[in-house]
Amino acid sequence: MKKRIRIRNDRTSFYKDESGAVMVIAAFSLVVFLTVASLVTDLGLRYYQKSRLQNAMDAAALASVTYLPDKVRAQNVAFEYVQKNGFPTDSVTIEFPQDGVIRVRDTFECQTLFFGLFSRDKMQIEAHAAAKYIQKNLSIDFDYLMFHGSEATFNLNGDFREVAGAIFANGNIRVGTNDAAVIQTIVSARQVNFYNNMGMRPEVVEHAAKQTMPDWDEMIMSIAPVAQEEQFTDPHPHLSPDAAYSYVYNGDTNLQNIIAYAPGSVICRGSLSTGYNNTAFMYVRGNLYVQNNFTPQCPVYVTGDLYVGGNLEPAWGMGITVNGNAYVGGNASFSAGTTIGGELYTGGDLTLRNGGASYSFGKVHCMGNFSSTMAWGAQVTNKGTTFVYGKLALGGGGRNILKDDVYVWGNNYRNSDEVCLINGYLNLRGDVWCGKGVVAFGGNGDCDIHGFVYSLGSIETRSGGDISLNGCMIAEDDIRIGGASHTYNDDGATLSLYTRNGDITLGSQGSALNMWGIVYAPKGDIKISTNGLRVYGSLVADTITCNIGSGFYIGKNDRTLPFAKTVRSAALVE
């Protein structure tokens, strides 16, 4: 008989004691936690201090670089800004690695919070910054050489030799040129259509974002001439006793016997005329006062001032020479060589009638019209400012030399009239301001204009001679450039055209129209109808109408524009 054996499996017979393991794990976790916490805290502190130091270096470099090339002043300012940002300057180093550049560097030790438990009670922090001094010219650096702001189709018609840049339109662009050579880029808010056989297609960007018309009004108008109306005081003499004058005439007087020489001043309390004599002359060594009209029939020479209360009208061929000022209460009419060394004031019109004579003034105040249209071929020189409150019309065939500013009000004329007309050779070295009508240059002679022209009406240049323009023409209405040839040979010469409300026409009849600058008609149309047009700048308008002849070229302007602003700035380079 077999014996059964029972084996007891008592799971509770053995007990494992784990009471100390939890403490070990907790202690180890605490060490890891404290290590991570100290690392995060001290690294965060280091990042914070590093940011503070970097900001201090940036501020010191930017503030100090504007004082270069004065290195001593720049260094002191750098130290000052380091201190303002809460850091000592003991360890700061200043370097000037190249002209116009300053580098500020600092290294310091930062006290740790927890790394001291691991024998790291300090951390080293370093930061530096370098700034460069920049003198920046804020001339118009526009992205497009032709900008068509309207959403109407921009038709590129004509012989485009080269557009050395980009063309933009807010609508469609239709390329219909017959012999286009190079157009680099065409950008359209809609699409571009080609109706020609261009061998080389430009880069085309369609469906571009629409762009608003650039607003350069404030910048350009900052250099526009403004009216400087000048009052002229009537210099009517306080009548001295008769003994103060070499000759005294108490009423209307006709001097049949001409005063060959008066050793002092002469006064006539009425009108004064002389007998006819083209060989003898009236010489006054002093002042000449005529209360009413003065009609000499002989040459007159006055060493002092001339006062005429009425009209001044010498006989034909009789010249007037006044070393001082001349005041004419009425009209003044000259038909022979005339020289006014000082200021000439006329309460009425100033008329030059003889084309074979030369007329020279120190300064002109004309309350009426100033005209030399009957003096074909005359030379008119004004060495000072020209104030004309009526119409200015200088005739052709001669030389018109205006060495200072010109102000024309155009009183009693319509806005469509030619109010400022210089029809002949012009050498202008000042600015022109015109308050009404048309300002017109050229027609029968070369024009050389170095200045700014502003018209509350329109501006025109006309065919008949070469026109050299250097400056800026600004009009409220249309601008029409139509001279035979427009050349700019001076180094750095520019011409910018800006109409605030009208159109601009580029229609030279000569072989070339060269200009460096901006053609800007934000509310109007730029009309191109000329041969040999070369523009170094941008054509910017609501619309551009192209009927271009041969040889059209447009490229970037590399010359400083007169309304460009120069600013001093600093930029971080490290």
Beta strand segments in 372-488, E: 379-382, 386-388, 392-394, 399-402, 406-408, 418-422, 425-428, 432-434, 438-442, 447-455, 458-462, 466-475, 479-481, 485-486
* Model pLDDT, residue 17: 54
Residue 68's domain comprises: 23-135
CB 373 within 8 A of CB 402: no
* Beta strands 122-138 and 101-111, pairing class: antiparallel
Q: Enter the tokens of residue 553.
A: 């070229």
* Model pLDDT, residue 259: 82
Domain for residue 102, yes or no? yes
CB 404 within 8 A of CB 431: no
Task: Return the C-alpha torsion angle 453, 455, 459, 464, nearest 10.
Answer: -50
> How many domains is the chain built from?
1
* Model pLDDT, residue 464: 66
Measured between alpha carbons, how far is residue 348 from residues 367, 410, 555 in Å? 5, 13, 50
pTM of the predicted protein model: 0.74
Domain for residue 352, yes or no? no
Q: Which residues contact 47 (CB under 8 A, 6 or more apart)?
A: none
Domain for residue 54, yes or no? yes
* Model pLDDT, residue 93: 93
Domain for residue 217, yes or no? no
Domain for residue 126, yes or no? yes
Domain for residue 53, yes or no? yes
Phi, psi of 313, rounded to the nearest 5 degrees: -145, 90
Burial of 414 (0-12, 13-18, 19+ CB in 10 A): exposed
Secondary structure of 322-386 in the HEC alphabet? ECCCEEECCCEEECCCEEEEEEEEECCCEEECCCCCEEEEEEEEECCCEECCCCCCCEEEECCCE
Domain for residue 496, yes or no? no
Q: What is the mean pLDDT of each run of 10 residues along the chain (574 residues)?
A: 48 52 64 61 72 90 88 93 91 90 88 56 82 70 90 85 89 76 84 75 86 90 87 71 86 86 92 84 93 94 95 94 96 96 96 92 96 88 95 85 94 91 86 93 78 93 75 94 65 87 81 80 91 86 84 85 73 82
Domain for residue 35, yes or no? yes
Nearest CA-CA partner of 332 in 319, 313, 315? 313
Half-sphere CA count of 245, side-chain side, radius 13 A: 18
* Model pLDDT, residue 424: 76
